[in-house]
Structure 1
Amino acid sequence: MKIGKRGFGERHIPIWGALFALPALLYIVLFQLYPILFSFYISLHDYDLLSDPVYVGFKHFAALPYDRAFINSLWITIAYVVYTVVPVLGLSFLLAWALTQVRKSRGLWRTLLFIPSVMPIVSVALVWKLIFNFNGPLNDAVTLAGGQAVPWLNNSTYAPIAIVIMSWWHAVSYYMIIFLAGFLSIPRDYYEAAALDGARGFQVLRYITLPAMKPTIALAVVLATVNGLKTFAFQQIVTDGGPANATQIMTLLIYKTSFSYLDMGRASAYSVVLFGGILAISLLQIWFLRDRNG
């Protein structure tokens, strides 16, 4: 196999193809592969950005089981992922199914429901911060209904709930589009055949829709889980990890440890662990989506 000019009867890789792929390869190496390797390198050192790194081996990794901030942040991250992934995917699935039943103004409804996911996440966070403010419109509605104002962002019990609610609003439309694409890819012949056989309602959902949607569901679950593990903006902008570290997820802990406390070695160890978790989820995606019949 040659790289070069086209020759009669020769298999080749066009040089122009390699040149066009080069910028993407450089981007991956410089902005993805190199940071990962450098992060692992720094995790083996004590480094405060002001002096030279000092090699300490696996000291930071060995200390993780006894690091209360890490353990607390890990549990908060897991809870956040669980409480967002399941409801978000359920709501997205139902919305996508409802859109398949719409006959009039279908494009308009799809556009309106997709708007939240394309809005800048910082703007979304700032708006929801105003909504959840103690003197904000949400508490105004609660008091008008005869209830008491809730300290949404100043209470360690309510703050995680507020973050989860705004995550639902922002994420549902994104996964709705994924599920909608899955629904639309199912051949109509399946449903016509099921109708001829007398299948209705739940039977169609169980024996036709869900089996055909398995690859889409697996993809959505993996994407939602990975995105949940990587989330940062809502917690940083709305609560900054508070109150009492109740919303300090792993990404925010890494940010604070590195840039607030200048403990780059420990922060890099956190990031390596988080990367390992995300990599494991990605490998699960490959396992679920591979062609089992191939």
Structure 2
Amino acid sequence: MGIGRGGFGRHHRALWGAIFALPALAYILLFQLYPILFSFYISLHDYDLLSDPVFVGFKHFAALPQDRAFVSSLWITVAYVVYTVVPVLGLSFLLAWALTQVRTSRALWRTLLFVPSVLPIVTVALVWKLIFNVNGPLNDAVAFLGGSRIPWLNSSGYAPLALVIMSWWHAASYYMIIFLAGFLAIPRDHYEAAAIDGAQGLQVLRHITLPAMQPTIALAVVLATVNGLKTFAFQQIVTDGGPANSTQILTLLIYKTSFSYLDMGRASAYSVVLFGGILLISLVQIWFLRERNV
């Protein structure tokens, strides 16, 4: 009896499914679950990578409210997420809606607008670092219009704004595709029925488009929030957390605490808190989407 029809495969389908799932399961256990558990283990120790870990219990977690670097980075991270998520999702929504109205060269426009999200993030960061340079093209344009050059990356007031603008440009195209998929999934007969009833413009948007798009909007909000909490490359490459730690988000603080200060226990405590926040947001997403589906 072979694995073919009516033979060995039919009676051992579950076993074969488990066998084929083993590589993916091994990857999850080795590269995702184990690092999470090991990070929590290290967070309960003093560890500098050079000597054996020393158990200290929840000392690092108890010290977090008084840890100025952590509190500052936490607020900077929250501000970055807030100022990134809302404009990016609004811009992405408008771009996706505009694409649904395009009648010619639709595939070309979709491709062009999607390009920013597939470019290497390091390349994007380096190009924008040149753009925001004091003698870069952006300041050249400002000077040409009669303004004074802005120290985008050398001022604690302008540097966070520069990073937010970079994120708008890079992320908007990614969420645009998600919204576009949501728009295209709305049955056309809903709009035809609305047109017959005399609904137009904002009425259609309010009573048909937005209700039908709620699951997509919820998904995009959660993805944008989680990605904002995990962002690292822009801050590390463009400003390295400066000036005066004004762009030092939590992921960058974790990196510096681990590999610059060799304080792995404290860095792991930061990581556990960040992981807990991301997990909580993900659970809220699952609950919300389930409620909407019900």
Q: Sort the TM-score into its range (normalised by shorter chain).
A: over 0.9
Question: Which residue is equivalent to 1:251?
Answer: 251
Question: Which residue is equivalent to 1:64?
Answer: 64
Task: Supply the distance in 1 between the matched residues of 2:55 and 2:87 (Cα, whole angstroms).
Answer: 45
Unmatched 5+ residue regions in structure 2? none
Question: Which residue is equivalent to 2:142?
Answer: 142
Question: Partner amino acid for 1:109?
Answer: W
Q: CA deviation at 1:133?
A: 0.5
Task: Supply the distance in 2 between the matched residues of 1:293 and 1:51 (Cα, whole angstroms).
Answer: 52
SS in 1 for 2:13: strand
SS in 2 for 1:133: coil
Provide the TM-score with structure 1 as the length reference: 0.96
Question: Which residue is equivalent to 1:266?
Answer: 266
Question: Which residue is equivalent to 1:121?
Answer: 121
Question: Which residue is equivalent to 2:192?
Answer: 192
Task: Supply the distance in 1 between the matched residues of 2:292 and 2:149 (Cα, whole angstroms).
Answer: 54
Task: Supply the distance in 2 between the matched residues of 1:64 and 1:210 (Cα, whole angstroms).
Answer: 41
Q: CA deviation at 1:64?
A: 0.1
Question: Partner amino acid for 2:285?
Answer: Q
Provide the TM-score with structure 2 as the length reference: 0.96
Superposed CA deviations along residues 257-278 of structure 1, whole A, max 9, x for unmatched, are: 0000000000000000000000
Q: CA deviation at 1:13?
A: 3.2
Superposed CA deviations along residues 238-268 of structure 1, whole A, max 9, x for unmatched, are: 0000000000000000000000000000000
Question: Which residue is equivalent to 2:228?
Answer: 228
SS in 2 for 1:50: coil
**Aligned length in residues:** 289
Cα contact 1:6–1:14 (8 A) shared by 2: no
Task: Supply the distance in 1 between the matched residues of 2:227 and 2:113 (Cα, whole angstroms).
Answer: 20
Superposition RMSD in Å: 1.4
Q: CA deviation at 1:288?
A: 1.4
Task: Supply the distance in 1 between the matched residues of 2:129 and 2:292 (Cα, whole angstroms).
Answer: 46
Unmatched 5+ residue regions in structure 1? none
Question: Which residue is equivalent to 2:17?
Answer: 17
Question: Which residue is equivalent to 2:49?
Answer: 49
Q: CA deviation at 1:18?
A: 1.6
Query: Does the C-alpha gap of structure 1 residues 59 and 183 become closer, same or farther in structure 2, counting only changes over 3 Å?
Result: same
Q: CA deviation at 1:17?
A: 2.1
Cα contact 1:81–1:228 (8 A) shared by 2: yes
Task: Supply the distance in 2 between the matched residues of 1:12 and 1:98 (Cα, whole angstroms).
Answer: 51
Alignment of 1:207 onto 2:204: no
Question: Which residue is equivalent to 1:95?
Answer: 95
Q: CA deviation at 1:100?
A: 0.1
SS in 2 for 1:49: coil
Superposed CA deviations along residues 201-247 of structure 1, whole A, max 9, x for unmatched, are: 00000000000000000000000000000000000000000000000
Superposed CA deviations along residues 51-83 of structure 1, whole A, max 9, x for unmatched, are: 000000000000000000000000000000000
Query: Does the C-alpha gap of structure 1 residues 246 and 181 become closer, same or farther in structure 2, counting only changes over 3 Å?
Result: same
